[in-house]
Amino acid sequence: MSAAKWENDEEIKIFREYLRIPTVHPNVDYTGCVEFLKRQAAGLSLPVDVVYPVNEKNPVVIIKWEGSQPELPSIILNSHTDVVPVFPEKWTHEPFSADLDSEGRIFARGSQDMKCVGTQYLGAIRALKASGYKPKRTVYLTYVPDEEVGGHLGMRELVKGDYFRNLNVGFSFDEGISSEDETYALYYAERTLWHLRFKISGTAGHGSLLLPNTAGEKLNYVVNKLMEFRKSQLKRLAEDKSLEIGDVTTVNLTQLRGGVQSNVVPPLLEAVFDIRIAITVDIPALEKQIRDWCEEAGGGIELEFEMKNPFVEPTKIDASNPFWVAFKQTLDDLGLKTRVRVFPGATDSRYVRYAGIPALGFSPINNTPLLLHDHDEFLRADTYLHGIEVYKKLIPAVADS
């Protein structure tokens, strides 16, 4: 199909319109996004609410498709409306132009992460409603802000409130990651996220001396211990080809701070680590090990958790979870090859699961370069439209389970 034919496809037009709304960090303005979603709801003859879990700068848009048995636990089709920053000089297309090239590639920030899913839900519902289908369970489309910076002003607070509790949610759809081969990744859990700052105190003085118990020595000890642990996780990945990055614990030094002058031994050095803990790890034991290393280094080290997410139980992926059974069986029936994995990053599903609601992360994107948060992010038009076809099967299967 030529680019001209793609351009005239109504679903592609809607997708590209959404991509052109620059809901980009920092200082996101969601006004245009909310108006777009209200128009979509009106076009589907579905009611829409806009709620503000924290403040009026961070709206959550909820579109309701009432089921024939609304007393049953509902389904949410979740997506986030925000996107990460861009470096326009690194792009060959304007990042918010949604340019469509002769190969059918649509270039825009958010084309993979994750505005595609947000409008694929709409496209599937448009087709299902046109066919006369009505779900058994009520289906809510939830469009949340702030996911790319932690979700603290969106989903995290939304699930705590009466509005969400009144939705009576039984299961949640959310995002996955594009696959570079023919398979599709299906995510049932996420690692536990820590951002851990070490505040390391030591003897200060002149740089010409060999002072005892310096902050630099302690820093060296702690960093070496954490890097040794990091190597053990790399070794696991190398030796067991069945493992992916989400199956191991990642440890990365992300910030260093301290010192005032090159010939002054500083009294304080700080180091920040991003740690994503595998779901198989004993988390209290890991924290104790890190604190033991701090004592072994000579003490005087304060640990400050800038982020310390709680452990969240994975979604059950067995016969005890009828939503899982319906979801997986539908993908199998469609002939889609799936890989059931632990999500390597963090999504809003962790807040939903923490509230006791099963959630699966899935983006119907395969044979596509992984470009989320990268320059020249794109999605092919045919891949996008195929995703709508997938959701046309998935949504009824889960909503009627």
Q: Both tokens of residue 217?
A: 């020595």
Residue with tokens 């932690």: 150
Catalytic residue among 11, 113, 147, 348: 147
Instruction: Please say if the pLDDT value at position 331 is more than 70.
Output: yes
Write out pLDDT tens, residues 79-135.
999 999 999 999 999 999 999 999 999 999 999 999 999 999 999 999 999 999 999
Q: What is the pLDDT of residue 229?
A: 98
Share of the chain above pLDDT 90, in %: 98
Q: How confident is the model at residue 2 (pLDDT cuts 50, 70, 90)?
A: low
Q: What is the pLDDT of residue 386?
A: 98
Q: What is the CA radius of gyration of the chain?
A: 24
Catalytic residue among 82, 174, 190, 348: 82
Query: From start to end of 99-223, where are the E strands?
Result: 99-100, 105-107, 139-144, 169-174, 184-190, 192-201, 205-206
* Residue 301 β-bridge partners: 200
Q: How confident is the model at residue 334 (pLDDT cuts 50, 70, 90)?
A: very high
Write out pLDDT tens, residues 132-148.
999 999 999 999 999 99
Query: pTM of whole model > 0.75?
Result: yes
Burial class (CB in 10 A: 0-12, 13-18, 19+), 242: exposed
- 114 contacts: CB under 8 Å, gap ≥ 6: 79, 80, 175, 363
Q: How confident is the model at residue 4 (pLDDT cuts 50, 70, 90)?
A: confident
pLDDT mean over 50-72? 98
The answer to whether 371 and 378 have CB atoms below 8 angstroms apart is yes
The answer to whether 217 and 246 have CB atoms below 8 angstroms apart is no
pLDDT mean over 271-292? 98
Distance, CA of 171 to CA of 67 (rounded, Å)? 14
Share of the chain above pLDDT 70, in %: 100
Residue with tokens 């740690």: 275
Q: How confident is the model at residue 65 (pLDDT cuts 50, 70, 90)?
A: very high
Q: How confident is the model at residue 212 (pLDDT cuts 50, 70, 90)?
A: very high
Distance, CA of 282 to CA of 277 (rounded, Å)? 9
Distance, CA of 204 to CA of 189 (rounded, Å)? 45
Catalytic annotation present for 333: no
Write out pLDDT tens, residues 381-395.
999 999 999 999 999
61: part of which helix (H) or strand (E)?
A: strand 60-65
Q: What is the pLDDT of residue 3?
A: 75
End-to-end CA distance of the chain: 37
Mean pLDDT score across all residues of the chain: 97
Query: Hey, what domains does the chain have and what are their CATH numbers?
Result: 3-175+363-399 (3.40.630.10), 192-308 (3.30.70.360)
Catalytic annotation present for 82: yes
Q: How many helices (H) and strands (E) in the chain?
A: 11, 17
132: left (phi over 0), alpha (psi -120 to 50) or beta: left
Query: From start to end of 278-375, where are the E strands?
Result: 301-308, 338-343, 359-362
Distance, CA of 112 to CA of 101 (rounded, Å)? 16
Q: How confident is the model at residue 5 (pLDDT cuts 50, 70, 90)?
A: confident
Cα 266–chain centre separation: 39
HEC-encoded secondary structure of 353-388: HHCCCCEEEECCCCCCCCCCCCCCCEEEHHHHHHHH
